[in-house]
Amino acid sequence: MGERYDCTHCKESLYGQKYILREDKQHCIKCYEELFSNNCEVCQKIIGCTSKDLSYKDRHWHSECFLCIKCQRSLVDRPFATKDEMLMCTECYCNEYSAKCHACLKTIMPGSKKMEHKGNNWHENCFTCNRCQQPIGTRSFVLKDANNYCLPCYEKQFALQCVHCKKPITTGGVNYRDQPWHKECFVCIGCKQQLAGQRFTSRDDFAYCLDCFCNLFAKKCAYCTTPISGLGGSKYISFEHRQWHNDCFNCKKCSVSLVGRGFLTCKDDILCPDCGKDI
């Protein structure tokens, strides 16, 4: 009598029956499915030995249950994505969750190049200049009235022209006497230093920094010989074609301040009444 060949689990004879070997142990079909087969995520039924078991992240499906949750198309041999553990074909996923083009309102498919600016998205070919209709790509652009413009078109259509160099002003302009200037063009006529952001004055329609204006036009103090600007409300003393800084208007002998006091002159000197008694 030959040796018996039974199911490892239920001990039923396997002669003439289909069976499955697992780790060198034989199992009848019923025992194998009960012990080792997975349950389908959708129908919760066992995925039998004769069915294809599709798995993804420790989850299992019958091939006929492996469907897009939105359109119910089979995902077998088709790209898919997941959202909150739900399976979707890439078309449904993109329509539901991918960015929409601000221009054509169509979905921007994953993997395709997109342009982003201030929360809006565009297909690369939809991100165009509102004036010339050419794609902007990675070039600089200006947003105006909810429209995008490449720099050349923006300058032609909107930018003011600098009164000095006649070129468009795109950023950092200065307005002086109701005329637009580039900051780098608005300079002192004397030393060429930029005047934007600092005090300056003008003469004969030319702008000057304070140093150049004082050196060129201000009168010189009779005592220290440096310019008296008289700008910004600063005070000075003037007498017989001569001027002094307030701090320089002092008695030649005793150095007391003569501002607001009587004084005497002796040639080029000024004296307080006390020091001038003997003159």
The answer to whether 221 and 244 are in contact (CB under 8 A) is yes
Domains in the chain (CATH in brackets) are 19-95 (2.10.110.10), 98-158 (2.10.110.10), 235-278 (2.10.110.10)
Number of Cα atoms under 13 Å in the Cβ half of residue 71: 13
The pLDDT of residue 75 is above 60: yes
Confidence (pTM)? 0.38
Output the six-digit token pair for 50.
């004769």
Average pLDDT, the chain: 85
Cα 260 to chain centroid distance, Å, stands at 60
Distance CA 83, CA 97 (A): 9
Give the model confidence (pLDDT) of 132-168 as tens digits. Answer: 999 988 888 888 888 899 988 888 888 788 999 988 8
Distance CA 94, CA 134 (A): 27
pLDDT band at 243 (very low <50, low <70, confident <90, very high): confident
Out of 2-6, 26-30, 68-72, 206-210, least confident range: 2-6
Count of CB atoms situated within 10 Å of the CB of 119:
6
Q: What percent of the chain has pLDDT over 70?
A: 96
Distance CA 137, CA 181 (A): 30
The pLDDT of residue 169 is above 90: no
The predicted pLDDT at position 1 comes to 40
The pLDDT of residue 246 is above 50: yes
Distance CA 123, CA 102 (A): 8
Distance CA 252, CA 268 (A): 10
Q: What does DSSP say about strands 219-220 and 269-271: parallel, antiparallel, or unpaired?
A: unpaired
Give the model confidence (pLDDT) of 37-61 as tens digits. Answer: 899 999 998 888 888 889 898 899 9
Count of CB atoms situated within 10 Å of the CB of 60:
18
